[in-house]
Homo-oligomer: A and B are copies of this chain.
Amino acid sequence: MEHSVAYSQFDRIELTAADLDIAAALAFVASPLAGGIDLFVGTTRAEQAGDGRELVALDYEAYVEMAIDRLRRLAADARRQWPIVKLAILHRTGRVPVGEPSVAIAVACGHRAEAFAACRWLIDTLKADVPIWKKEIWADGEGTWVHR
């Protein structure tokens, strides 16, 4: 089960093994009622291990059904806290090479302060709460799960 989308008229939640379509997320949240849109994109950052090995990618695994459910609740929780017009949360599964996006969160609100606050809360809470895991893939082929 590598692809899963849930969306209402106002929220788009997507876990996908394909490249994230960030332009589509921005188009989805666009609205005449929005004055400010904040988009966060998390990408795989180049890193070097202590022994000099280079990171080549992150492999993402999700407990798909539960992750989608948690993301929908995050969206609902955000809507209780801020006056959100539309929002989109996209997250990758599978291999995400250095420089490529693994997560994108777009929030459209009437005013910018709310869009920034909701977007920041969503990415922070996603990282703490949603059952998705990353494995670091190093140039020598070794993989290390991140469970901090």
Contact = CB atoms under 8 A, between A and B. Distances in A.
A135 interface: no
Contacts of A130: none
A45 B40 contact: no
A30 interface: yes
Interface stretch (A2-10, A31-39, A61-69, A72-80): A31-39
A116 B46 CA distance: 20
A40 B32 contact: no
Interface residues of A, number: 29
Contacts of A40: 36-39, 112, 115-116
Contacts of A23: 23
Nearest to A113: B120
A35 B42 contact: yes
A46 B32 contact: yes
